[in-house]
Amino acid sequence: MRSSLSRVALLYRLLRPLFFLLDAELAHSLVAAFLWLWARVWPRPRRRALLAQKLWGLDFPTPVGLAAGMDKGQILAPAWFRLGFGFVEIGTITPRPQPGNPKPRLFRLREQGALVNRMGFNNDGAERTAARLRRLPRQPGPILINIGRNKETPNERAADDYLTAFRALAPLADGVVINVSSPNTPGLRDLQADIGSLVKAIVAARTGQMPVLVKLSPDEDRPEEIAEAAVAAGADGIVATNTTIDPAGRETGGLSGAPLKEKALRACARIYRQVGRRVPIIGVGGIASAEDAYARIRAGASLVEIYTALVYQGPRAARDISEGLARLLARDGLSLGEAVGRDA
């Protein structure tokens, strides 16, 4: 198992300079195709009892997941799980297909270990994504679907978009994430001001106990108040956080990676202190190592997600973080559940 993935990681390191000469979005597409092919032969990773947990009635083999934005509906889940991810968040998916913002719209800030994206929810729409999900065999970890509104839909009718996407995709997902925090859809973040109404509409439309989560912005002055409103309305969890606005203004869009880490960490801790004993939190933003993941867990996250780290570190990123996290927990004599919120 290790030798197979190590060979892939070595190949990625050899090819990475070439990928980084290409447009970032083109390189992303090429790597996705590469992973899809290799997923057919990779063995599944070994399950580690120390990292496994059950949340929302779902089994997570490791707390390290893939953040939304990497798989925008191509449904490459078999590849992601073979890379060692414990769960996958697909999307953002809108009710109707949309091309997203004009290219170029994805940029590397290599000296900072960061990315700036202004993708604009480019995706094939809820129905085509649902058709792909129907063909997907059962996977070893949960699949969450991140949903949003179409760009041309005014906020006054945003709930209709979310409900349309939810009804098409929820029966095929293990959980749904309501995205009201991308900086790349005009006015989207304004929906956080009345998040309770949107959450109530989604929760009323679901059948069964499938979890509904809300993804929040790191740029709010009091993210814990938005989280409280979402949970009071019936949300089962919070994703903290989305990308931030680049303070240097080098490119318009959402900044991810190392510059986001401290802001996302602080938001996670504040949200945990407010709602963390009632609902789980997924921590995301600037996580690039086992130490980063452990700090986010100790700040209140039950699960963590990575995106930018996968771009810079390659195919071993998720597995290396999981293995290091297991060592850190063992060093401190803690279970995963005991570590959650310890420093919040």
How far is 239 from 175, CA to CA, in rounded Å?
A: 12
Please check whether residue 256 is in contact with residue 114, taking contact to mean a CB–CB distance below 8 angstroms.
Answer: yes
End-to-end CA distance of the chain: 37
Q: How many residues does the chain have?
A: 344
- Whole-angstrom CA distances from 127 to 101, 133, 157, 184 are 21, 10, 20, 23
- Whole-angstrom CA distances from 93 to 15, 277, 337 are 30, 30, 31
Q: Tell me the catalytic residues.
A: 182
Element (H, E) at 13: helix 2-19
Tokens of 190: 């304004």
How far is 319 from 82, CA to CA, in rounded Å?
A: 9
In single-letter form, the type of residue at position 129 comes to T
Cis peptide before 247 (omega within 30 of 0): no
How far is 285 from 262, CA to CA, in rounded Å?
A: 9
